[in-house]
Amino acid sequence: MQDRSTTPVPPTTTPTTLVAPRTGHVVVLGMMAAGKTTVGSRLAKRLGRRFLDSDLMIHQAQGATVRELERRDGLPRVHELEWEALREALDAPRPVVVAAAASVVDHPEAATLLAGRGLVAWLRITPETMLHRMEADPDERHRPTLGAAGPRSVLESLRSLDVGRRARFEALADLVLDVDSIDPDHAADRLRQATNLPELVVDAGARLGEGPLWDPRSDVLWWVDLLGEAIHRHDPADGSDRAWATPRAPTALACHGREGLVVTTPRGIEAFHPDRPLEDRLELLIPLEADDPDTRTNDAKCDPEGNFLVGTMDWRFAPGRGRLYRVHPDGTTETIVESATIPNGLCWSGDGRRFHWIDTPTHRVDVFDVDPGSGRPTGRRHLAPADGGPLNPDGMTIDREDCLWVAHFADGPGSRCAVPGGITRFSPAGEPLLTVELPATYVTSVCFGGPGLEELYITTGPNEVPEPELVHEPHAGGLFRWRPGVGGRLLHAFGPHAPAGG
């Protein structure tokens, strides 16, 4: 393939500057009965993060509840344990949501510890509401606090605590929520919006989520579990996700005709028939390397002319064993790249003049010129990262400003990897503009969808993460969604000049 590394990138307008999500941990603080455990746990579920509660951490470590320890060892010892629990939570190898005891704001090092570690939220509650909730608690968790004193004495104590800590809460908090009159779900949603982080929409536990495809014919998102051998259909209207087992590993999808889908598998390009029995659910249309048991298809997308560009690779990742094919609807096949290892991430510029492609082990995104007559990509050259920064790229899509969104595996499995899994936005010239961290080591692909194509769907997988490390990313293998602030483009369909699905 000819190397035209000096070919300039066509000029473009300056990309929109997007609001970066909040990085790091989310710390939820609040006085007694503020609901920090309930709000924090619901927020963690929405974000797909691990949830840690300081009281529960103490109970697990000490074999006694905080109230039992208070009676046995005294309040100063409990406050010491609460501070140690917060420090331990903030040392977690993946960002967490932690509900911390109110007493941590009294520690002289609180401001230093929490500065720059993420988002600190204060659930503000009036002493009167505190007392009402404490008295109404069916589990009587606050009974020792209420004790034998009358309501007025307890209320006075709560008012004194509130006055004493209010200034410290205000000094530490990035966000204040008055929770007297809002329910935990509302509070969790407000916190999620404040972090601007991707949300978990399907806790699928897929072995290797891949190939997201927005289907404009029914406004649903299709995606695959490659290693789990299943095709999923997520309906954002009701939050449902239905999965169909497949007899072979599905790797990528494209719209086909009025209602149909085609899927790439180790045999080639196949029609998907969800209403048929498992053994007949896939029907081979166009074979690709079907006689080689050591190779399979990987990422694939259709070009503006309706041809399917399909990458193949060795099951054991043997270098150079793969290819990139351009398959016409009539079955005519041509080879675009002769030697590839893990072909991934295909997309075209809005004017159709540039084709972008990834071979993951090269740690870069390449760009091709598209011949205006044949539509064939030529002139492969390096594009991103333009600054030579680290990247382990996987799937990719493009937005309306011709900026690339690249999903990246972390640079190693589990909690010790230095670069977390996530997605990065690159300018048309290959400059990194924005990186979004996900609570999973392996982030695999991205696709615009939803109303106006203004939502970014993100697939993940837990594959290769050692089992003991998965405790740090409990929702790896889930489907995530984020609203970046810029819209995307439809993926092209398989068939002559079919725009939908592209």
Domain for residue 477, yes or no? yes
Tell me how far apart the alpha carbons of residues 476 and 157 are, in angstroms, rounded to a whole number. 45
Query: 165 lies in a domain?
Result: yes
Catalytic-labelled residue, pool 215, 299, 394, 399:
394
Does 501 reside within a domain?
Answer: no
Statement to judge: residues 68 and 211 lie in one domain: no
pLDDT at 209 over 80: yes
The answer on 214 and 187 residing in a single domain is: no
Output the pLDDT for position 412: 62
Q: Last residue of a domain, which of 195, 228, 263?
A: 195
Q: Tell me the mean pLDDT in the region 145-162.
A: 76
Residues 411, 304 share a domain: yes
**How many Å separate Cα 34 from the centre of its chain?**
29
pTM for this model (two decimals): 0.93
pLDDT at 230 over 50: yes
Q: Two tokens at 326?
A: 């351009």
Q: Are 234 and 459 in contact (CB under 8 A)?
A: no
pLDDT digits (tens, 9 = 90+) for 379-424: 999 999 999 888 999 999 999 999 999 999 887 665 666 667 899 9
Q: Categorize the per-residue pLDDT at 442 as very low, low, confident or very high, splitting at 50, 70 and 90.
A: very high
- 208 shares a domain with 150: no
In a domain, 236, yes or no: yes
Mean pLDDT over residues 171-179, rounded?
96
Confidence of residue 140 (pLDDT cuts 50, 70, 90): low
Same domain flag for 116 and 221: no
Stretch among 13-22, 226-235, 345-354 having the lowest mean pLDDT:
13-22
Determine the pLDDT at residue 410: 80
Please report whether residue 474 resides in a domain. Answer: yes
- Does a structural domain hold residue 14? no
Pick the closest to residue 409 from 449, 438, 431, 366 (CA basis): 438
Distance CA 367, CA 81 (A): 55
Task: Tell me the per-residue pLDDT of 250-266, one tens digit each, with 9 for 90 and over.
Answer: 999 999 998 999 999 99
Same-domain pairing of 127 and 240: no
Instruction: Evaluate if residue 498 carries a pLDDT over 80.
Output: no
Q: Which of these, 68, 108, 62, lies nearest to 85 by C-alpha position?
A: 62
Tell me the two tokens of residue 430. 């290959």
Of 49 and 138, more confident: 49
Q: Sorting pLDDT into bands at 50, 70 and 90, what band is 143?
A: low
Rounded Cα–Cα distance for residues 47 and 396 (Å): 22
Residue 253 shares a structural domain with residue 147: no
Question: Final residue of a domain: which of 178, 195, 212?
Answer: 195
| Residues 270 and 186 reside in one and the same domain | no
E strands, 385-426, are 393-398, 404-408, 422-426
Q: Is the pLDDT of residue 158 over 50?
A: yes
In a domain, 375, yes or no: yes
Kindly state the percentage of the chain with pLDDT values over 70: 92
Same domain, 166 and 116: yes
pLDDT at 1 over 50: no
Residue 52 has pLDDT above 50, yes or no: yes
Q: What is the mean pLDDT of the chain?
A: 92
What is the arithmetic mean of pLDDT over 42-50? 97
Quick: pLDDT tens for 97-113: 999 999 999 999 999 99
For the question of residue 387 being annotated catalytic, the response is no
CATH number at residue 286: 2.120.10.30
* 497 alpha carbon, distance to own chain's centre: 32
pLDDT at 5 over 80: no
The pLDDT assigned to 398 comes to 98
What pLDDT digit, counting tens, does each position of 291-342 carry?
A: 999 999 999 999 999 999 999 999 999 999 999 999 999 999 999 999 999 9
Q: What is the pLDDT of residue 150?
A: 64
Does any domain span residue 317? yes
Tell whether 77 and 225 lie within a shared domain. no
Whether residue 208 is found in the same domain as residue 308: yes
Domain end among 195, 222, 248: 195
Q: Residue 370 is which amino acid?
A: V
Residue 93: what pLDDT? 86
Give the relative orientation of helices 184-195 and 36-47 as an angle to the nearest 10 degrees: 50
Give CA–CA dist 368/376, Å, rounded. Answer: 9
pLDDT over 80 (residue 10): no
Q: Is the same domain home to 178 and 207?
A: no
Residue at 55: amino acid letter = D
Q: Domain holding 46: CATH number?
A: 3.40.50.300
Q: Which pLDDT value is given to residue 145?
A: 63
CB-based contact 265:296 (threshold 8 Å): yes
Domains contained in the chain, number: 2
Write out the residue range of the structural domain in which residue 71 sits: 25-195
Coil vs helix vs strand at 359: strand
